[in-house]
Structure 1
């Protein structure tokens, strides 16, 4: 299949810089959601934290309470970006999984091993695990291939946030298998299936997190299909995005409206970011690409950094209430963000190149 034959499946923009920037902001949202972990004592059960004790709660309360919704946003953005990258690529089927392994696994395996070590130290000191308690051999072995949240898990384990990567692997598989049909009609294929899966999550179907991930991903792909048809332009994206965000707040005010609010809010923000990108003819948002590169590192490094800080303050006899101080929160958030940038430049990119080089060398030897 020639590139020319598939050229109609790619929007003219090479990069979506506002989306890149939004990925960084979404990763930072997760930092605030997990900040509550600093106040969890060494207990062998779930512990509810009074989030109002966290620094600057009056100002940052929405982030502390809703930062977890960034995960769904990541899924939707991934669906849009994958459609942009792979629908028009005639070699997509052959190199898809190599690119995924090179991008995801090196940092995942590094932080998985580090969390196993840090949790071992924490257990030796306290007699129980830090926040994530299902750190047994079964979940470690499942975590290596990112299969730890496919429905057979007891709970989140080790580097807890990696659960969302585990579900996203299944969304990648669906996308990869559906590529021939998505190329024929990306909107017509992705929209009904994505909407149906999210509908099942609203009904609390079994394994709803897996269904939700695939649903968000496919609706992100559907958004790309709608953009290809020129149905989504800045003139329509702005009012549609604003309306969806207003609907999200309305759902949030209703009992049991959280999942519906997250769906509406996710695509409201996605549409507003797309409007910004499509209006950016002069490339003023180009800086967003490099900022977005840090999001994966921030996401996987922030829990190991958090546990390392807890071990440090416990070892020097400082009460964990020190986390109520704004300077401590700013130090933690800044450290996690810096780790994301350093990780991308010093580990993730070199690791990607190494994986591609090893694959090329292996192919050469076989031929």
Structure 2
């Protein structure tokens, strides 16, 4: 379990790569690329409702913890009006902030939203200009990261600027989509080779994260090579595809956004209860860890049904059945295995 404890944050980079791949597949086409306003609205409807709800929940619990129980804030210290407004605008990790605040894991939602808007604006331009502009952005990004002090072997993981980190992963996903649509679909990649590629990438990640710190250039290699190999294996492999399409994994993928955004509020709720009732929680036991995992999945199932889906209906003004049938509503796991777009 060491790789997941010590390098679990790298899964965020995996979703940056996956996001670039599936959004290019979904939006970078003649039917959708020119509708910039509608595309941005779709991204907001996908990301904002649950982000807003969890922001408010965390704000209330942190206020109770500090002002009613006279306890220090839990984990994230910057929970004032200024940072609340940044979180409301999804600008909480853009350089305007003083540090992580409120629902801390939502930092990646902030950076991904900014990068999504830039991508949707770029593809609304003529195709050749968009392609040249995105390629130039990626080239400049690499130069800045490698030469500008934004990557440090003493820092884990990778680029120390989270906007650049998000752009890096997203552009790797865009490049993967380009290579996949232009070449890999034509050569009919052998299923066994695709399985081997994905399994080798997974074991390589586990081995190196077990042996050393995934920082600096090693982090860059995992993002640019390892994660794309996993995605290709999920699309073209037989065994990997079969595993990822197992119903429990498909369901976890479906509610993965909720899992990501509710796990810290649940941690905060447990801590709040322990302070209020003077209980020493057995955080270091296996049973507590398992119980917390199942509680997160249960809570995520509820928020998915009661917040995510109704939020899409409200902001997209589309019936819930249409949203469930939309490829953009499919789980990241299912999308990776089927090669379909995920929102």
Q: TM-score range by the shorter chain?
A: 0.7 to 0.9
Query: What does residue 102 of structure 1 align with?
Result: 45
Query: What does residue 161 of structure 1 align with?
Result: 105
Cα 1:259–1:295 shift into 2, 3 Å: farther
Deviations 1:168-223 (A, max 9, x none): 12211221122156844887664563354245334533972101101210110110
- Greater shift in the superposed pair: 259-268 or 188-197: 188-197
Cα 1:120–1:89 shift into 2, 3 Å: farther
Query: What does residue 236 of structure 2 align with?
Result: 278
Determine helix, strand or coil for the equivalent of 1:229. Answer: helix
Runs of 5+ in structure 1 lacking a partner? Answer: 1-59, 359-367
Of 202, 207, 216 in structure 2, the residue corresponding to residue 259 of structure 1 is 216
**How far apart, in 1, do the equivalents of 2:174 and 2:207 lie?**
26
Shift of 1:62: 1.7
Number of residue pairs matched?
298
Cα 1:126–1:110 shift into 2, 3 Å: same
Query: What does residue 224 of structure 1 align with?
Result: 177
**How far apart, in 1, do the equivalents of 2:128 and 2:278 lie?**
63
Deviations 1:313-339 (A, max 9, x none): 22222224x101111111111111222
Deviations 1:196-255 (A, max 9, x none): 424533453397210110121011011000001124764465565566667757876898
Query: What does residue 49 of structure 1 align with?
Result: none
Query: What does residue 302 of structure 1 align with?
Result: 263
Query: What does residue 330 of structure 2 align with?
Result: none
Query: What does residue 8 of structure 2 align with?
Result: 67
Cα 1:286–1:224 shift into 2, 3 Å: farther
Query: What does residue 90 of structure 2 align with?
Result: 146
Matched, 1:119 2:72: no
Query: What does residue 77 of structure 1 align with?
Result: 18
**How far apart, in 1, do the equivalents of 2:207 and 2:298 lie?**
36
8 A contact 1:170–1:214 mirrored in 2: no
Query: What does residue 204 of structure 1 align with?
Result: 149
The TM-score with structure 2 as length reference comes to 0.76
Cα 1:255–1:296 shift into 2, 3 Å: closer
**How far apart, in 2, do the equivalents of 1:62 and 1:241 lie?**
17
8 A contact 1:234–1:276 mirrored in 2: no
8 A contact 1:187–1:222 mirrored in 2: no
Cα 1:157–1:107 shift into 2, 3 Å: same
Deviations 1:73-112 (A, max 9, x none): 1111100010110012523424111101111111111000
Runs of 5+ in structure 2 lacking a partner? Answer: 151-158, 319-343
Shift of 1:291: 3.1
Cα 1:227–1:329 shift into 2, 3 Å: same
Superposed counterparts of 1:339-354, under 5 Å: 339-354=299-314
8 A contact 1:245–1:264 mirrored in 2: no
**How far apart, in 2, do the equivalents of 1:164 and 1:208 lie?**
12
Matched, 1:135 2:88: no
Deviations 1:15-35 (A, max 9, x none): xxxxxxxxxxxxxxxxxxxxx
Superposed counterparts of 1:328-339, under 5 Å: 328-339=288-299
Cα 1:200–1:218 shift into 2, 3 Å: same
Matched, 1:193 2:134: no
Shift of 1:117: 0.3
- Greater shift in the superposed pair: 270-279 or 228-237: 228-237
Instruction: Kindly report the root-mean-square deviation, in angstroms, between the aligned alpha carbons of the 2 structures.
Output: 3.2
Determine helix, strand or coil for the equivalent of 2:9. Answer: helix
